[in-house]
Chains A and B, each alone.
Chain A
Amino acid sequence: MILEIRNLHAGIEGTEILKGIDLTVKAGEVHAIMGPNGSGKSTLAGVLAGREEYEVTEGEVLFRGENLLEMSPEERAAAGVFLAFQYPVEIPGVNSAYFLRTGLNSIRKSRGEEELDALDFLKLAREKLKLVQMDEAFLKRSVNEGFSGGEKKRHEIFQMAVLDPVLGILDETDSGLDIDALRIVAAGVNSLRRADNAFLVVTHYQRLLNHIIPDVVHVLLDGRIVQSGGKELALQLEAEGYDRIKQAATV
């Protein structure tokens, strides 16, 4: 079992945003999370990655059997959690290669593995850049600075490929991508799928799920998962919108 979320309540400054989430993700699976704006998708992703502004008021989260909520963000990264940000952060003055190598080596160190020198890292990075069809020049640029919207998203997937997580959480990685980029990103994610890892894909659009085929689709509404189903649920939502589910949820 990779992820077990039980009755998770979380919020900010006294306002509850997540109102009792239950979710179980097994190794080898891809779960999609859909839901209207403001329903709490990014909050869930953030709580899992360790955003400190959210307060968990109830429930528990186990990551491979361990209490995830007790870990710092960097410990979660070292344990194998990766969040692809909805809004990747620009860091002027830090080049992408140095940034990612520092992260990778911190993770390797905490696992008792040997650190990669600049040359070995470059080899690895080059290989992973190909996955998302990004130019090597990006490695020398400041992290996300001046990247186009689509480049930022591809850069997230590139970082995920280098860090090779056990659980990859993608928060709207598809928004802002053109059709070709969408395909590239999806292919990148698919190539990372293995029997021993899993992905949580937050999206508004069914089209991403044509490429990254989910095992389970969940609908998040007002901080609760109100419906779960197979990949056809996404198609149904695309056709009908959330109205029917909203009505069903309020009665």
Chain B
Amino acid sequence: MGTSTKKNMSSGSGSSSYFLPIPEGHWLRRYSPPAPDPGAETPLEKTLADLRFRARKVLERGLPSVRSEAFRYTNLQFLLSEEFTPDRRQVTREEIEEELFRDLPVKEGEHRLVFVNGRFLSELSTGFVSESGLEILRIGGGHGTEARREEEGSKIAEYIGRTTLADFSSIAAWNTAHLHDGVAVFVQRGKKISEPIRIRHFIRGEGNRKIVSFPRLLVVAEEGAEVFVAETYAGDSGRTLTIPMTELIVGRAARVEYCRVVREGGEGVHLSAQEALLEEDAVLRSHAFHFGGALARNDVRAVLNGENVEVTLNGLSLLSGTEHLDNHTVLEHRRPHGRSREIFKSVLADHARNVFRGLIHVWKEAQKTDAVQSNRNILLSPTARVESRPQLEIYADDVKCTHGATVGRLEEEALFYCRSRGIPLESARVLLTQAFAADLVEEVAVKEYREALAEAVRARLERMLGREEPR
């Protein structure tokens, strides 16, 4: 990973050293469209222009340095010295088809939208949908008649950016400042969509050029609606940077299951924001699988904005080499009777590093909150490192909040038990780490995806453990 040496930080006085200035003309501030409001006319154009304007203000503040608490363990300074540009090429189906479905196979009947370096690839997609009940729309420009486009645009305008609430996180701001394309999914009141919706990103460098993309996903489940959405990011060779943002808006008594699988390339950087906003009686089940990438940071937040909301926030990461992952999660219990279950697990080999920060924030009126957080880590090598920072901020008095973190090695006694039954040491290690990961895979509702994920976990663990020195 590149670290920059030349800094133009004036001998930092006060709070300015928490941010490193991003010079004008720097690629992070080279916008398209350049002006936030290029004669916005439609409601969607107006909304996007407004969002971009606010987000770009955040960028003017600068890039958070390791002196800022939120980025203490993840140094993003290389973004200032390395030059990333969006991919302007149109990739063809033939170039990527084989790679494309490696992590999750095609499930019959799924809705599938394929993007390459942030650009939509219609040939491999099942296409956008606008039926009553389910709409899968393109944020960057509709299709069909002018009138229809206007109608779809208004709908997107109504919801996009809503989860941001008063404040942008840095990553959300970077995505939003560059927002011009993406996918919006709307599930109408009471509709239960049985086939999964799958958004498939393929990311790869172009020779010496370093590629950046800013994917965006908006999911809106109206009252009583149900939907399963999976997003996968598969990286390839070359230095790439992905800055995605996902918004999940879960209406009254609606249920959203969201599964994201990230396997960036060896030099891939992944900086994501995932924001969820839930109303009364809503259910969110979120599963994040991280299978690689040079550096990743995920800002995950769920806001329990109605009574009796239920949130599951799961994460599994398998890291090796010098991979670095920083998960920053926030569960914001605003209303009474909320339940949250957060389980983040990691397996680390070699010199990998995992940072977990989990904030449970219980507002004063969120009585009877029931929150459980757990962070468990297995180190396969003495040089792997874990930072675990649970954080509770509780302002209500009648709540049940528990958290726990463990960092350990594979149990010797369990290894010996396996070996005494004839299972060779290396297989025993794979078996036990696989077992450690199994419950998070089991929680994914779609059988085909579950099986594919179990296989991906096994294959990756075999590679991670195969490299290890036998004792």
Q: Give Cα A78 to B414, complex, Å.
A: 18
Q: How far is the CB of B314 from chain A (nearest CB, A)?
A: 15
Knowing A91-B435, A93-B435, A102-B427 are in contact, say whether A50-B419 is a contact too (CB < 8 A). Answer: yes
Q: Is B445 in the interface zone, CB < 8 Å from A?
A: no
User: Are B416 and A73 within 8 A (Cβ)?
Assistant: yes
Knowing A91-B432, A94-B435, A106-B427 are in contact, say whether A163-B422 is a contact too (CB < 8 A). Answer: yes
Chain A residues, CB < 8 A from B413 = 89
Q: How far is the CB of A141 from chain B (nearest CB, A)?
A: 13
Chain B residues, CB < 8 A from A47 = none
User: Are B421 and A103 within 8 A (Cβ)?
Assistant: yes
Chain B residues, CB < 8 A from A93 = 434-439
Q: Give Cα A49 to B421, complex, Å.
A: 10
Q: Mark A47-67, 1 if CB is under 8 A from B, else 0.
A: 001111100000000000000
Q: Is B190 in the interface zone, CB < 8 Å from A?
A: no
Chain A residues, CB < 8 A from B417 = 85, 88-89, 91
Chain B residues, CB < 8 A from A163 = 421-422
Chain B residues, CB < 8 A from A78 = 422
Q: Mark A27-52, 1 if CB is under 8 A from B, else 0.
A: 00000000000000000000001111
Q: How far is the CB of B191 from chain A (nearest CB, A)?
A: 36
Q: How far is the CB of B108 from chain A (nearest CB, A)?
A: 25
Chain A residues, CB < 8 A from B436 = 93
User: Are A51 and B416 within 8 A (Cβ)?
Assistant: yes
User: Are B422 and A77 within 8 A (Cβ)?
Assistant: yes
Q: Is B420 in the interface zone, CB < 8 Å from A?
A: yes
Chain B residues, CB < 8 A from A102 = 421, 423, 427, 431
Q: Give Cα A94 to B414, complex, Å.
A: 11
User: Are B418 and A99 within 8 A (Cβ)?
Assistant: yes
Chain A residues, CB < 8 A from B437 = 93
User: Are B423 and A74 within 8 A (Cβ)?
Assistant: yes
Q: Is A203 in the interface zone, CB < 8 Å from B?
A: no
Chain A residues, CB < 8 A from B414 = 89, 91
Q: Is B399 in the interface zone, CB < 8 Å from A?
A: no
- Which of B411, B412, B422, B435 is in CB contact (< 8 Å) with A106? B422
Q: Give Cα A237 to B437, complex, Å.
A: 49
Q: Is A92 in the interface zone, CB < 8 Å from B?
A: yes
Q: How far is the CB of A163 from chain B (nearest CB, A)?
A: 7
User: From residue 94 to 111 of chain A, which have CB atoms closer than 8 A to chain B?
Assistant: 94, 99-100, 102-104, 106-107, 110
Q: Is A159 in the interface zone, CB < 8 Å from B?
A: yes
Q: Give Cα A159 to B439, complex, Å.
A: 25
- Which of A51, A52, A72, A94 is in CB contact (< 8 Å) with B431? A94
Chain A residues, CB < 8 A from B418 = 91, 99, 103
Query: What residue in chain B is nearest A76 (Cβ atoms)?
Result: B420
Count the B residues whose beta carbon is within 8 Å of the partner chain — how many?
23
Interface centre among A51, A85, A94 (most CB of B within 10 A): A94
Q: Is B424 in the interface zone, CB < 8 Å from A?
A: yes
Chain A residues, CB < 8 A from B420 = 49-50, 73-74, 76-77, 82-83, 85
Q: Give Cα A30 to B297, complex, Å.
A: 61
User: Are B425 and A72 within 8 A (Cβ)?
Assistant: yes
Number of A-B contacts (CB under 8 A): 76
Q: How far is the CB of A23 from chain B (nearest CB, A)?
A: 20
Query: What residue in chain A is nearest B437 (Cβ atoms)?
Result: A93
Query: What residue in chain B is nearest A160 (Cβ atoms)?
Result: B421
Query: What residue in chain A is nearest B433 (Cβ atoms)?
Result: A93
Query: What residue in chain A is nearest B442 (Cβ atoms)?
Result: A93
Chain A residues, CB < 8 A from B425 = 72, 74
Knowing A93-B435, A93-B439, A94-B431 are in contact, say whether A103-B416 is a contact too (CB < 8 A). Answer: no
Chain B residues, CB < 8 A from A107 = 422
Chain B residues, CB < 8 A from A76 = 420
Query: What residue in chain B is nearest A79 (Cβ atoms)?
Result: B422
Q: Mark B435-463, 1 if CB is under 8 A from A, else 0.
A: 11111000000000000000000000000
Chain B residues, CB < 8 A from A110 = 422
Knowing A50-B419, A85-B417 are in contact, say whether A92-B435 is a contact too (CB < 8 A). Answer: yes
Chain A residues, CB < 8 A from B434 = 93-94
User: Are A159 and B435 within 8 A (Cβ)?
Assistant: no
User: Are B422 and A104 within 8 A (Cβ)?
Assistant: yes
Chain A residues, CB < 8 A from B422 = 74, 77-78, 103-104, 106-107, 110, 163
Q: Give Cα A142 to B411, complex, Å.
A: 16
User: Are B438 and A106 within 8 A (Cβ)?
Assistant: no
Chain B residues, CB < 8 A from A72 = 419, 425
Interface centre among B416, B427, B434, B436 (most CB of A within 10 A): B416
Q: Give Cα A72 to B426, complex, Å.
A: 12
Q: How far is the CB of B92 from chain A (nearest CB, A)?
A: 42
Q: How far is the CB of A72 from chain B (nearest CB, A)?
A: 7
Chain A residues, CB < 8 A from B439 = 92-93
Q: Give Cα A55 to B24, complex, Å.
A: 67
Q: Give Cα A163 to B420, complex, Å.
A: 11
Q: Give Cα A10 to B412, complex, Å.
A: 20
- Which of A51, A92, A142, A159 is in CB contact (< 8 Å) with B421? A159
Knowing A72-B425, A89-B414, A106-B427 are in contact, say whether A77-B432 is a contact too (CB < 8 A). Answer: no
Q: Give Cα A83 to B425, complex, Å.
A: 17
Q: Give Cα A94 to B418, complex, Å.
A: 11
Q: Give Cα A107 to B437, complex, Å.
A: 26
Q: Give Cα A72 to B431, complex, Å.
A: 18
B interface vs A, CB < 8 Å? 411-414, 416-425, 427, 431-432, 434-439
* Apart from the given pairs A82-B420, A102-B431, A163-B421, 14 other A-B contacts in the complex at a CB distance below 8 Å: A49-B420, A51-B416, A85-B420, A89-B411, A89-B413, A91-B414, A91-B418, A93-B436, A93-B438, A94-B432, A94-B435, A94-B438, A100-B421, A102-B423
CB pairs A–B below 8 angstroms (29 shown): A50-B420, A52-B412, A72-B425, A74-B419, A74-B422, A74-B424, A74-B425, A77-B419, A77-B420, A77-B422, A78-B422, A83-B420, A85-B417, A88-B417, A89-B413, A93-B434, A93-B436, A93-B437, A93-B438, A94-B432, A99-B418, A99-B423, A102-B421, A103-B418, A103-B421, A106-B423, A106-B424, A106-B427, A110-B422
Q: Which 3 A-B pairs have the closest CB atoms?
A: A93-B435, A103-B421, A73-B419
